[in-house]
Amino acid sequence: MEVANKHVTLKTHIEGAPKESDFELKTSPLALSLNPGSGEMIVKNLYVSIDPHQLNRMKSCSLLQKTGTGFNGIALGEEIEAYGVAKFVASDNVDFEKGDVVMGVVTWAEYSKIRRNGMIRKLDPLGFPLSYHLGILGYSGLTAYAGFFEICKPKRGEKVFVSTAAGSVGNLVGQYAKLHGCYVVGCAGSNERSLYLWSYITTFPNVQLLKEKLGFDEAFNYKEETDLNSTLKRYFPDGIDIYFDNVGAEMQEAAVANMNTFGRVAVSGVISEYVDPGKRAAPNMLQVIFKRIKIHGFLAADHVGLFQDFISTTSHHLRNGELCPLEDISDSLDSIPVAFTGLFRGDNIGKKIVKIAEE
């Protein structure tokens, strides 16, 4: 059997913020059977993850070289890798059966062909919606959990600042920090938005959402602030102990300037630098010394040893209603370019996911 497989590709390499016109939807024939011994696998995608860091592989080779991070660029016309939850369709891998729900690295496509040794595993949904396994119980969740607990080593009562606090990782860091007994302030770009929350549609400005629904002590809209240094001084009269950084640039500088001795900066993302490589944080190093500040870049991938601990803690809190899963789900493959570019406009609230097909 053969299907016409619709997928998203790059029409042009991206410089600066991504535009919808940088992407193209294509359809290619795909046989849903495989040669024995190929080691390949075919899955039908149900949900795919939309993440800001994907932009880093969409740049041209020369731009990629400038970042010096060793990313493999995505060729024009090639399928674009992403985390996803999918249904197993075909393979000669005896570990899987047709209809099994799997998760791992798929592509922005209706069907994905997974190479031999592709990163894919059978998924036990643990009684939760499948989409949770891309967000609060997936890589975003592990990033928040490992970054906050392992990198920041928080103590009860410490003062925590989270940027892009309405984003997929930031909202969870704030929620974990509140459960840990910290004082938490988040910043977000705030537009009044409708979102699907606890099974009903509701309208919130992000900032209000952070405080009223996620329990942050304070939240502010960075777009309304002219001097981030003074803003942080206002929200942290006793200084910041932990800054969970998702943006880099001026926000990191202002956080370091307002930091207490032995403060920690967990650098999880630098969305400002993804869009504009010339935009860099230049924290005051004299303060870094005298306040003995640690600035620490990390990837969740290094903390997979925490995965079981993360899943059991997080699912326990979810079942007790102590953590709120914040998802922003669009429908259909066609919506991916809008969904992705929206990440850089601050359109999403929580984890951005595109639903490709019905379970």
Q: Which residues bind a copy of itself (CB under 8 A)?
A: 56, 67-71, 248, 252, 257, 267-270, 273-274, 277, 280-299, 302
Supply the minimum distance, in Å, between the C-beta of residue 229 and a copy of itself.
Answer: 9
Nearest to 297, CA basis, from 239, 244, 242: 244
Supply the minimum distance, in Å, between the C-beta of residue 273 and a copy of itself.
Answer: 5
- Partner residues linked to 184 by β-bridges: 160
Q: Which is nearer to a copy of itself, 88 or 236 (CB)?
A: 236
Nearest to 354, CA basis, from 108, 21, 159, 42: 108
Give the tokens for residue 319: 């079942």
Query: CA 104 to CA 76: how far, in whole Å?
Result: 23
Q: Which is nearer to a copy of itself, 104 or 248 (CB)?
A: 248
Q: Which is nearer to a copy of itself, 57 or 180 (CB)?
A: 57
Query: CA 337 to CA 9: how far, in whole Å?
Result: 10
Supply the minimum distance, in Å, between the C-beta of residue 240 and a copy of itself.
Answer: 13
Supply the minimum distance, in Å, between the C-beta of residue 84 and a copy of itself.
Answer: 22
* Residue 270 burial class via C-beta count within 10 angstroms: exposed 0-12, middle 13-18, buried 19 and up: buried
Supply the minimum distance, in Å, between the C-beta of residue 185 and a copy of itself.
Answer: 20
Supply the minimum distance, in Å, between the C-beta of residue 276 and a copy of itself.
Answer: 11
The helix (run of H) or strand (run of E) holding residue 318 is helix 307-319
With tokens 């099994």, the residue in question is 100
Query: CA 355 to CA 331: how far, in whole Å?
Result: 5
Cβ burial 317-347 (10 Å sphere, 16+ → b, else e): bbeeeebbbbbbbbeebebbbebbbbbbebe
* Residue 159 burial class via C-beta count within 10 angstroms: exposed 0-12, middle 13-18, buried 19 and up: buried
Q: CB–CB of 83/64 below 8 Å?
A: no
Supply the minimum distance, in Å, between the C-beta of residue 102 and a copy of itself.
Answer: 27
Q: Which is nearer to a copy of itself, 77 or 297 (CB)?
A: 297
* Residue 302 burial class via C-beta count within 10 angstroms: exposed 0-12, middle 13-18, buried 19 and up: exposed
Q: Which is nearer to a copy of itself, 69 or 320 (CB)?
A: 69
Supply the minimum distance, in Å, between the C-beta of residue 292 and a copy of itself.
Answer: 5
Q: Which is nearer to a copy of itself, 288 or 338 (CB)?
A: 288
Query: CA 269 to CA 202: how far, in whole Å?
Result: 29
Q: Which is nearer to a copy of itself, 105 or 123 (CB)?
A: 105
Q: Which is nearer to a copy of itself, 190 or 268 (CB)?
A: 268
